[in-house]
Amino acid sequence: MKLTRGELRPSYDVVIIGGGGHGMATAYYLAKRFGITNVAVLERSYIGSGGTGRNTTVLRANYKTPETIRFYQESFELYAGLQQELDYHMLRSERGLFWLAHSEPQLRNQRERALQNQHFGVDTVYLDAHQVHEVCPQIDMTGGGKRPVLGAAYHPPGSIIRHDAVVWGYAGAAQRLGVQVLQGIEVTGLTIQGGRCVGVVTDRGPIAAGAVLSAVGGYVTDIATMAGIRLPIVSHPLQALVTESYLPVLDHIVASADLHIYVSQSARGEVLIGAEIDPYSSYSTRSTFPFLASAAARAIDLFPFVAKLKVLRQWTGICDMTPDYSPLIGTSDVDRLFISSGWGTWGFKAIPVSGLRMAELIATGVVPPVLAPFALDRFRRDRAVPERASAGTH
Ligand SMILES: Cc1cc2nc3c(=O)[nH]c(=O)nc-3n(C[C@H](O)[C@H](O)[C@H](O)COP(=O)(O)OP(=O)(O)OC[C@H]3O[C@@H](n4cnc5c(N)ncnc54)[C@H](O)[C@@H]3O)c2cc1C
């Protein structure tokens, strides 16, 4: 599929800043579900060059609060039909996801997760150590002789899907409906008149807009600065690595909250290792040796065969972290400026629901109930949605 190089128009009904998954999905649903096709997606680099093309591709719905379970469940269901809807092959593969516990507090945490999920109809079960070994015999149950596995929450529908295919699938479908996807255009300012956002300033000049959506991932504080607003977001680097290809031996996704690590094997045979965010805030996408050494050592504690493999590559993305580890999405203090943000280390799996519901908000002006808990002003109202325990490696 090719992106057509359309001429930049002087004005659009909606301008979307950022050609990652969230921007592209919103553009698609605006056109498909709400008939709004005079839409431009402006991407300063190439589409999918941000977090959407750098993530570790895990899809799951096993969250821990009622608000987030409902939200990610809807996304998971939309993902299930996405290849057909967009007519694009995305190599989705159901793997089953373990959340291992190596300590009594984590054991309690994972039991609670299973019960909470079951209450909301999400398929998660608690497994004791013996059952974990039966389902995934590749795990070293001694945890490298240091941290024995005591049990796990097991989420059978947990899946992986090709990340770049998701963004290209949405882009192609949106373009077929009339949306303009424009790469190599940077937004450098916002035009705000009387408290209302009426356009953007780009490195190709100003563009008028009926509504503007910021979907710039880890760079949202730049857009907030242009708008003169403050957001409770701190951007942190998140690193990952893959090994050279190996025989297909690991058909599950295995996360350990105590070891702060998760491991899966891609369709190409690479063993993929992800971990927690770097502890410092930065926009740097430079990968580091301390991360490589430490993440590899922890992965080897769970899967000793990984010690034999060479590292193929390592990379970094920027994550827009919120204090409660939940998204920050909705209207802002500036009229007609919408923000899709706070996607941190968990935003890839949220792309379909966030795109669909953000499109609904822009088109109707009414906040969809599934988005309401994640409003930008929730910290002012003391209504945090605490999800730290579900953020991959915590
Ligand atoms: C290593 C790693 C592993 C991860 N693993 C997972 C996972 O397994 N599952 C999961 O759910 N999530 C995961 N995530 C998080 C997930 O990738 C992100 O939350 C998600 O991709 C964010 O998507 P986005 O569309 O908001 O932003 P992005 O994909 O970052 O897109 C934003 C785009 O905006 C563009 N942009 C920025 N500023 C401007 C501007 N001024 N003008 C024009 N364009 C601009 C950027 O170039 C970029 O392309 C991971 C992230 C990383 C880094």
Q: What contacts 362, CB < 8 A, 6 or more positions away?
A: 14, 26, 30, 36, 211, 213, 338
Mean pLDDT of the residues in the chain: 96
What distance in Å separates the CA atoms of residue 90 and residue 67, rounded to the nearest whole number?
28
| CA 283 to centroid of ligand 1, rounded, Å | 12
Which tens digit of pLDDT belongs to each residue from 247-282? 999 999 999 989 999 999 999 999 999 999 999 999
pLDDT for position 388: 81
pLDDT for position 392: 56
pLDDT for position 26: 99
What distance in Å separates the CA atoms of residue 74 and residue 350, rounded to the nearest whole number?
9
The pLDDT > 70 percentage for the chain reads: 98
Closest protein CA for atom 15 of ligand 1: 345
Residue from 24, 55, 266 to probe ligand 1 pocket by mutation (most atoms less than 8 Å from CB): 55
DSSP class of 217: G
Q: C-alpha distances in angstroms, 150 versus 31, 74, 132, 179, 256?
A: 49, 31, 9, 51, 11
CB 216 less than 6 A from any atom of ligand 1: yes
Which tens digit of pLDDT belongs to each residue from 307-328? 999 999 999 999 999 999 999 9
Cα 332 from chain centre: 21
Q: C-alpha distances in angstroms, 43 versus 21, 208, 329?
A: 12, 17, 20
Which tens digit of pLDDT belongs to each residue from 79-127? 999 999 999 999 999 999 999 999 999 999 999 999 999 999 999 999 9
337-341 vs 205-214, strand pairing mode: parallel
| CA 350 to centroid of ligand 1, rounded, Å | 11
pLDDT for position 139: 98
Which tens digit of pLDDT belongs to each residue from 114-132? 999 999 999 999 999 999 9
pLDDT for position 380: 93
4 has pLDDT over 90 = no
Query: Which of 369, 394, 356 minimizes the C-alpha distance to 34?
Result: 356
Which tens digit of pLDDT belongs to each residue from 238-255? 999 999 999 999 999 999
Which tens digit of pLDDT belongs to each residue from 364-392? 999 999 999 999 999 999 999 998 866 55
Which tens digit of pLDDT belongs to each residue from 45-60? 999 999 999 999 999 9
CB 354 within 8 Å of CB 340: yes
- Exposed e or buried b per residue across 128-162, where buried means at least 16 C-beta atoms within 10 angstroms of its C-beta: ebeebeeebebbbeebbeebebbbbbbbebbbbbb
DSSP class of 9: P
pLDDT for position 1: 72
Where residue 382 falls (left for φ over 0; alpha for ψ -120 to 50; beta otherwise) is left
For helices 351-364 and 66-80, what crossing angle results, to 10°? 100
CATH placement of domain 97-156+234-321: 3.30.9.10
336 has pLDDT over 80 = yes
Q: What contacts 229, CB < 8 A, 6 or more positions away?
A: 332, 333, 334
pLDDT for position 2: 75
What distance in Å separates the CA atoms of residue 251 and residue 262, rounded to the nearest whole number?
13
pLDDT for position 285: 96
Closest protein CA for atom 41 of ligand 1: 187
CA dihedral 341, 342, 345, 350 (to 10 degrees): -60
CB 202 less than 6 A from any atom of ligand 1: no
Please, which pLDDT band fits residue 393 given cuts at 50, 70 and 90?
Answer: low
Domain 11-56+163-233+323-390 in CATH 3.50.50.60? The answer is yes
Q: What's the token pair of residue 245?
A: 């290809």
394 has pLDDT over 60 = no
Q: Give pTM, 2 decimals.
A: 0.97
Domain boundaries, the chain: 11-56+163-233+323-390, 97-156+234-321
Cα 165 from chain centre: 14
pLDDT for position 277: 95
